[in-house]
């Protein structure tokens, strides 16, 4: 896969994560239940920081990009995948619905797979490494 395509998929993950947290925040602010036990502002902040970590890749700084993606793996892997898996089945009541739980898990599994590919250098780029 080309780096440009990988980055586009990572931006899609970023937007899905931001949208999930924004919807959760909106539901809370209108008196409803959040989508997940994650605090939506904290989740949004983590996603925003992740977005900043994509910038070196977009600028062609592949080594720094890979380092950032490697650092994102334990953070997003634990907070976004393992924590949600640990809530199944006994703590599904912490989620607005089973679909909200599944969406959180799917979004973060998608992102984790992309981060693993990025950190491992499973992409092609046209320009020399910087």
> What string of H, E and C letters represents the secondary structure of the chain?
CEHHHHHHHHHHHHHHHHHHHHHHHHHHHCCCCCCCCCCHHHHHHHHHHHHHHHHHHHCCCHHHHHHHHHHHHHHHHHHHHHHHHHCCCCCHHHCCCHHHHHHHHHHHHHHHHHHHHHHCCCCECCCCCC
Confidence class for position 129, pLDDT limits 50, 70, 90:
low
Confidence class for position 117, pLDDT limits 50, 70, 90:
very high
**Is residue 126 pLDDT above 90, yes or no?**
no
pLDDT in tens, 102-111: 999 999 999 9
pLDDT in tens, 51-66: 999 999 999 999 999 9
């Amino acid at each position: 896969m080309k780096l440009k395509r990988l980055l586009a998929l990572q931006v899609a993950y970023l937007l899905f994560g931001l949208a999930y947290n924004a919807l959760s925040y909106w539901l809370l602010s209108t008196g409803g239940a959040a989508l997940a036990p994650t605090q939506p502002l904290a989740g949004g902040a983590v996603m925003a920081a992740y977005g900043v970590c994509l910038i070196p890749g977009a600028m062609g700084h592949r080594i720094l990009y890979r380092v950032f993606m490697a650092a994102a793996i334990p953070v997003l892997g634990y907070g976004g995948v393992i924590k949600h898996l640990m809530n199944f089945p006994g703590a599904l009541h912490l989620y607005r619905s089973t679909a909200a739980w599944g969406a959180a898990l799917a979004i973060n599994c998608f992102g984790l797979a992309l981060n693993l590919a990025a950190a491992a250098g499973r992409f092609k780029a046209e320009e020399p490494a910087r």
